[in-house]
Amino acid sequence: MEKQKNSEKRNNEQKVAVLDKFVKKMRECGQILFSRNLIDTRSGNVSVKLDRNKLLIKKTGVSMPYMTKKDVITLPIYEGTEKDNLASSDLKIHRQIYIESEKGNKNINAVLHCHMPEAVALSFFDDEITPLDYEAQYFIKKIKVAEYNSIPEYVAEFKLCIAKGHGVFVGGKDLDEALFLTLALHNSLKIFLLKNLLEKIKT
């Protein structure tokens, strides 16, 4: 009995440590996105996959740069629950990205979403953007612009996708990769925009 109690206590301590680690990382991602003007105090969302059928996601209406443990919720990936409405409004897309990724063996364990202004602006003109800069050509295969329902398949395939008129969804093997790809995408789209604007002025 005593042994069982001790092992339960250890399990709970481990779960709390894992939760603390993820929330800290989510908050750091929020602070970096905020510092680059990619989210405001309420917009954007983030999730991580905890196991095959469990994700940890930001709650709706809370601020990513100031997130604490009470601002996240653990939910199943493969089924809806009555607590779904507490989660970020993009919960369905996050779930579907993990499902599509699992189907294609793509190893996506974290998803970041922000309303990147350059991506939203370009999404009104292009269905696909080919990166011009060396870094993005190396790390980003394809930048698709898609309607909301097609986002999961593109994120599973190319790790990122622009939702038309809305923002970007980026997946990674962990939050570090999702953040790195978000920032590489941002840099690449700035270069794309500047090059096209300069071309118009200079020619």
Q: Which is nearer to Zn ion, 61 or 104 (CB)?
A: 61
Beta bridge partners of 145: 162
- φ, ψ for residue 110, nearest 5 deg: -155, 145
Residue 133 has phi, psi (to 5 degrees) of -90, 155
Residue (42 or 69) nearer to Zn ion, CB:
42
Between 84 and 137, CB nearer to Zn ion = 84
Min separation Cβ 45 and Zn ion, Å: 7
CB of 46 to Zn ion, least distance (A): 11
CB of residue 137 to Zn ion, shortest distance in Å: 27
| Residues 31, 25 contacting (CB under 8 angstroms) | no
For the chain, list the strands marked E by DSSP. 45-51, 54-58, 72-76, 110-114, 128-129, 143-146, 160-163, 167-172
Site string for Zn ion, 163-192 (x = CB under 5 A): ----x-------------------------
Least distance in angstroms from the C-beta of 89 to Zn ion: 7
Q: Under the rule (CB under 5 A), what is the footprint of Zn ion?
A: 167
